[in-house]
Amino acid sequence: MAESVVVTDGTDSFYGSRTLFQFLHDFGEFDKITAFGPSVVDAKKMLLSRQARYSGLVDVLEFAEGEHGELSGASTWVAVNGDPSQLPGQIKAAEGAGVKRALIHVVADAETAGVVSSLEASSLTYTLMRTGELTKAGEGGGLILEEVDHPTCESVPIDDVFRFITEALTMDEASGRSFALCPATDATQLRKMRMAGCSRREEVAALLKGQIKLESDVIEASPEEVAAKTEEDEKTAKELEAKREEELKELLARAKQRGIENQKRMAEEEAEKKKKREERLAMFARPDEDDGDDKDAPAKEEPPPPEEPKKTDDKKDDDDDGLALV
């Protein structure tokens, strides 16, 4: 959307609505998200978390303070835990500030007649949503839409409510609507949608279009509707079964391929180990073979010692010399 949204919390604290800002950043397309409350300092303490920094929320998050109703500078306004006594004045101020889209959330015991009248009299594209107490437990359960003044709207998971708000902001089906968002005791249809791979946005669209109903509503339907639903359920079950079989085939094929690759790898490793063993054996075997060859060779004969010169009589030698001179 490349638009800006301003968020207010009727409790004057963003402690309970912190995750809404993260949802608006993760699943919306706003280039600016403003936290508007009585104190910028307190708002920063609540919203400048490690997750906000790592996710990039801080890059689009801004802060403003003042009296409720001063909502200038935004095209969309989301009011959480709205106070019915102050909402009519805030609606007029938002309209005068140029706000085009408003989604207002009130709690179960809120009186909504005056708020509905103010919204209908304004030029805002609005959605008024009433819920029971917002709780942290039970995320992902079944939801159902009821009349805005439905008396038995019980507590509902806070993350489911905030995700619903984020998606409904950009859906035409939510425009000009007033309703209660309540937990559903029967989540059969919702489970089937999730098994079929539907997204959360598709779930919200189905709720807004009235396509998700309680099991009791289906039983009270006409025989033709019951037959059509039964046929659709059977078709969905067959499609899911076929999908599971296809996934199982793919898993088996991948497992078989991994087995072949593992066997090939193990064979290559064993061949490499065998080669290295043979090289080591050959390397250590050569010195022993040389020593054996030396032992088998014939011994070399040593040469005989030189003969000693014969000894002669010195006197005789002298006589011989004298005679020779005469």
Please give the pLDDT value at position 158: 92
* Beta carbons of 103 and 126 less than 8 angstroms apart: yes
| Strand order from edge to edge, sheet including 61-65 | 61-65, 30-37, 3-9, 76-80, 101-106, 125-131, 177-183, 143-146
Q: How far apart are the first and last CA of the chain?
A: 149
The tokens describing 303, both together, are 């040469």
| Closest to 161 (Cα-Cα) out of 51, 81, 45 | 81
Beta strand segments in the chain, E: 3-9, 30-37, 61-65, 76-80, 101-106, 125-131, 134-135, 143-146, 156-157, 177-183
Which of 27-36, 43-52, 249-258, 262-271 is predicted least confidently?
249-258
pLDDT, position 294: 52
| Bigger pLDDT: 291 vs 241 | 241
Please list, in sequence order, all residues whose beta carbon lies within 8 angstroms of the beta carbon of residue 66, skipping any fewer than 6 positions away.
36, 38
How confident is the model at residue 137, as a pLDDT? 74
* Token pair belonging to 129: 């949503």
What are the helix (H) ranges across 12-150? 18-27, 40-47, 50-55, 87-96, 113-121
| Residues in a beta bridge with 178 | 128
Helix (H, G, I), strand (E, B) or coil at 130: strand
Q: What is the pLDDT of residues 176-223, one digit of tens each?
A: 999 999 888 777 777 778 777 888 888 889 889 888 876 544 445 566
Q: How many CA atoms lie within 13 A of 147 on its CB side?
A: 5
Pair of tokens at residue 282: 């050959």
The amino acid occupying position 130 is: R
Q: What does the pLDDT look like over 28-76, one tens digit per residue? A: 889 999 999 989 999 999 999 999 999 999 999 999 987 655 677 789 9
* Amino acid residing at 278: E
Structure tokens of 33? 């998200």
